[in-house]
């Protein structure tokens, strides 16, 4: 502590006359004359003004660059010119002694500390230790610490035990690419970093533990997005024995709203119970399985109404409409909206409007004139109403309309209440889907989930009595403000049902035993019904902080290409290390 008596955010008028010692970074120096200068001293807690009034003290300051660390011993006095923007703005410290603790050896910084968020992201990541000195950047990390602490306390209060699971484990087909770790003692063999503690937490339930949680590190070799960090991320992983879907919902509906209301940018959060929306309904009404319920717009199926109006892209397709009342937008704004939707979805968006006179105009209006009155009546269209349209196969029309719904709220801000956190559960996900690449039946969400209907429904599907695509599972997503926070499920704990579920996707009993040996064998010793979920901590804090990029809430994030430009990772290693691991690097001939 360098024997400091106070922090740089602690001194007030009541401390005037005291001799104090402060330690911190020289944030700014304003030299007035040869013996007078004003120094802003910053530490973790805040800032204090130091007033240099002697040549001796000035000699020390003159020899230092900004961001050097110093210790200042001096007397507190009232400021003549107070600064209401500083919490310590009523006082200043006159130094009697200045010690140099850590000299900054560079005259120029890569960016201004207090404006680092305006700098190029590559520079910010390379000099992250400087970026984090910015109080605006640091506050997100502090919030993250507070949120994690609150989550831990809440889970403990609900009777959950915090148990850490292994980091070095076996590769498992869980949807993303593994990070592999060569095993030195076992040439040619590899560990994998866990994509999630999925199998371990289920094994804990078979071991007789009742409620488990951890702030779990997960590792997936996948591309970055605004709400997804490549490489490493953290989640509030939890599992409950002898539990149903409702039991899981009840825990999170009790844990999350107080944390969001306390730490969030907005102080309003959904209260229990959260709205439950079946997957098919979510796609049909909102065009997304992660709908932003702050937006009051919904999708309307207008296939029968205008599908045969003579407009080519509608013929033989599903047509969806997004009706936006009281929207005043220029043609340029509407064209940009439709263009942005096409960039995101790869599908075109179309439109028309009802003008001030109640006439259909703009966009594809000329194809709709014969049914004008019916369209206005059935869609209840008022003057100054915009109607966005999408067409295609059902899922494509839905997803494109869902993107349009979200983007059009920017042009009609009265249709979105931004100042709140709106949660919902998406439930009843399809158990199976037709794979885009394989063209065959595949698991849609999670192979470890319990099908709704159990073994009976799987047997009927195998016998051709039920369409496998109609089978739903006890799978659920937690969504907040259009961001998927988590996926979870009631687990398939019965080996017989598990084998049948995998047979549907052309994997036999031996395949299941080979891919999931520990879990399959454990279930054969009598496993309890169990269910769980794992909300993403990084995404949660991103929402609470109101940030657009998840990298803003991670202390040392990778860039979009999964590189740590500060530490130089990934990097090369010595040949000796490769030899020890029995690894040879083969260069691409091209």
Q: Using alpha carbons, select from 244, 256, 230, 265 the residue that is nearest to residue 419.
A: 265
Per-residue pLDDT tens over the stretch 538-576 = 999 999 999 989 999 999 999 999 999 999 999 999 999
Q: What is the CATH number of domain 295-415?
A: 3.30.1360.30
Question: Quick one: tokens of 242?
Answer: 């002898």
Q: Using alpha carbons, select from 393, 379, 367 the residue that is nearest to residue 321.
A: 379
CA 244, CA 532: separation in Å to the nearest integer?
9
SS3 state at 87: coil
Q: 485 pairs with which residues across the strands?
A: none
CA 41, CA 38: separation in Å to the nearest integer?
10
CA 72, CA 564: separation in Å to the nearest integer?
36
Give the rounded distance of the alpha carbon of 157 from its chain centre.
Answer: 26
DSSP 168-218: SB----SSSPPPEEE-TTSTT-EEE--S-SHHHHHHHHHTT--EEEEEEEE
**What is the pLDDT confidence band of residue 231, given thresholds at 50, 70 and 90?**
confident
Per-residue pLDDT tens over the stretch 372-421 = 999 999 999 999 999 999 999 999 999 999 999 999 998 999 999 999 99
Instruction: Report the pLDDT value the prediction gives residue 446, as an integer from 0 to 100.
Output: 79
Per-residue pLDDT tens over the stretch 473-493 = 999 999 999 999 999 999 999
Q: Using alpha carbons, select from 11, 8, 52, 5 the residue that is nearest to residue 29.
A: 52
What is the topology classification, in CATH, of domain 13-102? OB fold (Dihydrolipoamide Acetyltransferase, E2P) (2.40.50)
Backbone angles phi, psi at 243, to 5 degrees: -125, 150
Instruction: Report the pLDDT value the prediction gives residue 288, as an integer from 0 to 100.
Output: 97
Q: Is residue 352's pLDDT more than 70?
A: yes
Share of the chain above pLDDT 70, in %: 99
Are the CB atoms for 308 and 283 separated by under 8 Å? Answer: no
Per-residue pLDDT tens over the stretch 276-286 = 999 999 999 99
Whether the pTM exceeds 0.85: the reply is yes
Are the CB atoms for 451 and 458 separated by under 8 Å? Answer: yes
Pairing type for strands 475-480 and 423-427 reads: antiparallel
CA 462, CA 228: separation in Å to the nearest integer?
38
CA 347, CA 341: separation in Å to the nearest integer?
7
Are the CB atoms for 221 and 178 separated by under 8 Å? Answer: yes
Q: 190 pairs with which residues across the strands?
A: 182
Q: At CA 554, angle to CA 114 and CA 180, rounded to 5?
A: 145
CA 442, CA 469: separation in Å to the nearest integer?
10
Q: On the CB side of 261, how many CA atoms lie within 13 Å of its CA? A: 10
CA 110, CA 308: separation in Å to the nearest integer?
61
Mean pLDDT of 205-234: 90
CA 21, CA 291: separation in Å to the nearest integer?
54
Instruction: Report the pLDDT value the prediction gives residue 273, as an integer from 0 to 100.
Output: 95
User: In Å, what is the CA distance from 111 to each residue of 27, 34, 102, 117, 305?
Assistant: 13, 28, 19, 9, 58
Q: Is residue 345's pLDDT more than 80?
A: yes
Rg (CA), the chain: 30
The answer to whether the Cα torsion of 283, 484, 435, 230 is positive or negative is positive
Share of the chain above pLDDT 90, in %: 87
Give the rounded distance of the alpha carbon of 398 from its chain centre.
Answer: 24
**What is the pLDDT confidence band of residue 228, given thresholds at 50, 70 and 90?**
confident
Are the CB atoms for 460 and 501 separated by under 8 Å? Answer: no
Instruction: Report the pLDDT value the prediction gives residue 590, as an integer from 0 to 100.
Output: 64
CA 549, CA 419: separation in Å to the nearest integer?
19
Average pLDDT, the chain: 94
Mean pLDDT of 172-181: 81
CA 415, CA 327: separation in Å to the nearest integer?
10
Question: Which residue ranges make up each domain of the chain?
Answer: 13-102, 295-415, 430-472+494-527
Are the CB atoms for 547 and 140 separated by under 8 Å? Answer: yes
Q: Is residue 436's pLDDT more than 90?
A: no
For residue 474, the 8-state DSSP code is S
Instruction: Report the pLDDT value the prediction gives residue 362, as an integer from 0 to 100.
Output: 93
Mean pLDDT of 458-465: 93
Q: At what angle do helices 279-286 and 394-408 cross, to 10 degrees?
A: 60
Non-local (6+) Cβ contacts of 344 within 8 A are 403, 407
Are the CB atoms for 271 and 383 separated by under 8 Å? Answer: no
Q: Is residue 224's pLDDT more than 80?
A: no
Per-residue pLDDT tens over the stretch 184-213 = 999 999 999 999 999 999 999 999 999 999
Non-local (6+) Cβ contacts of 217 within 8 A are 167, 232, 233, 234
Mean pLDDT of 441-447: 85
Q: Is residue 256's pLDDT more than 60?
A: yes
User: In Å, what is the CA distance from 68 to each residue of 20, 95, 128, 142?
Assistant: 20, 16, 17, 23
Q: At CA 42, angle to CA 41 and CA 45, rounded to 5?
A: 135
Instruction: Report the pLDDT value the prediction gives residue 176, as an integer from 0 to 100.
Output: 78
Q: Is residue 1's pLDDT more than 60?
A: no
Q: Is residue 343's pLDDT more than 90?
A: yes
Pairing type for strands 19-33 and 299-301 reads: unpaired
Instruction: Report the pLDDT value the prediction gives residue 234, as an integer from 0 to 100.
Output: 96
Instruction: Report the pLDDT value the prediction gives residue 437, as an integer from 0 to 100.
Output: 82
Per-residue pLDDT tens over the stretch 132-142 = 999 999 999 99
**What is the pLDDT confidence band of residue 175, given thresholds at 50, 70 and 90?**
low
Helices (H) and strands (E) in the chain, counts: 17, 22
Mean pLDDT of 5-16: 97
């Amino acid at each position: 502590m360098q024997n400091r008596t106070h922090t740089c955010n602690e001194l007030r008028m009541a401390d005037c006359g005291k001799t104090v010692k402060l330690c911190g970074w020289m944030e700014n120096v304003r030299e007035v004359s040869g013996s007078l200068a004003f120094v802003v001293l910053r530490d973790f807690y805040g800032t204090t003004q130091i007033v240099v009034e002697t040549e001796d003290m000035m000699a020390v300051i003159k020899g230092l660059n900004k961001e050097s660390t110093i210790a200042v011993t001096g007397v507190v006095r009232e400021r003549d010119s107070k600064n209401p923007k500083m919490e310590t703005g009523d006082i200043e410290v006159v130094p009697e002694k200045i010690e140099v603790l850590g000299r900054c050896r560079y005259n120029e910084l890569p960016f201004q500390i207090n404006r680092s968020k305006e700098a190029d992201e590559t520079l910010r990541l390379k000099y992250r230790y400087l970026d984090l000195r910015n109080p605006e950047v640091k506050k997100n990390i502090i919030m993250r610490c507070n949120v994690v602490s609150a989550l831990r306390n809440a889970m403990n209060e609900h009777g959950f035990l915090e148990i850490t699971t292994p980091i070095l484990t076996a590769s498992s087909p869980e949807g993303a690419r593994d990070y592999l770790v060569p095993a030195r003692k076992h040439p040619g063999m590899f560990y994998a970093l866990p994509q999630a503690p999925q199998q371990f937490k289920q094994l804990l339930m078979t071991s007789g533990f009742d409620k488990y949680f951890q702030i779990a590190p997960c590792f997936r070799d996948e591309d970055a997005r605004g709400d997804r960090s490549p490489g490493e991320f953290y989640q509030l992983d939890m599992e409950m024995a002898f539990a149903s879907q409702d039991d899981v919902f009840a825990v999170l509906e009790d844990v999350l709203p107080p944390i969001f209301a306390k730490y969030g940018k907005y102080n309003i959060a959904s209260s229990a119970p959260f709205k439950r929306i079946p997957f098919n309904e979510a796609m049909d009404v909102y065009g997304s399985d992660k709908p932003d319920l702050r937006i009051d717009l919904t999708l309307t199926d207008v296939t029968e109404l205008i599908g045969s109006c003579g407009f080519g892209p509608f013929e033989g397709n599903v047509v969806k409409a997004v009706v936006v009342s009281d929207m005043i937008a220029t043609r340029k704004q509407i064209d940009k909206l439709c263009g942005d939707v096409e960039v995101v979805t790869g599908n075109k968006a179309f439109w028309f409007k009802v003008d001030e006179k109640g006439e259909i105009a703009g966009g594809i209006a000329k194809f709709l004139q014969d049914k004008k009155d019916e369209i206005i009546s059935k869609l209840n269209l008022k003057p100054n109403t915009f109607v966005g349209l999408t067409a295609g196969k059902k899922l494509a029309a839905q997803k494109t309309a869902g993107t349009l719904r979200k983007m059009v709220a920017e042009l009609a801000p009265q249709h979105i209440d931004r100042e709140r956190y709106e949660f919902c559960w998406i439930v009843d996900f399809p158990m199976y889907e037709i794979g885009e690449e394989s063209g065959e039946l595949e698991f849609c969400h999670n192979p470890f989930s319990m099908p709704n209907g159990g073994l009976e429904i799987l047997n009927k599907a195998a016998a051709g009595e039920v369409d496998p695509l109609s089978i739903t599972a006890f799978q659920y997503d937690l969504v907040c403000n259009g961001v998927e926070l988590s996926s979870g499920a009631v687990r398939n704990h019965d080996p017989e049902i598990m084998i049948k579920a995998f047979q549907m996707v052309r994997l036999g009993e031996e395949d299941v035993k080979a891919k999931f040996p520990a879990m399959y064998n454990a279930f054969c010793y009598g496993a309890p019904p169990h269910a769980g979920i794992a909300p993403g901590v990084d995404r949660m804090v991103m929402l609470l902080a109101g940030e657009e990029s998840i990298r803003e809430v991670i202390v040392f994030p990778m860039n979009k290409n999964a590189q740590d430009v500060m530490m130089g990772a990934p990097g090369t290693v010595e040949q000796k290390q490769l030899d020890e691991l029995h690894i040879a690097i083969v260069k691409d001939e091209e």
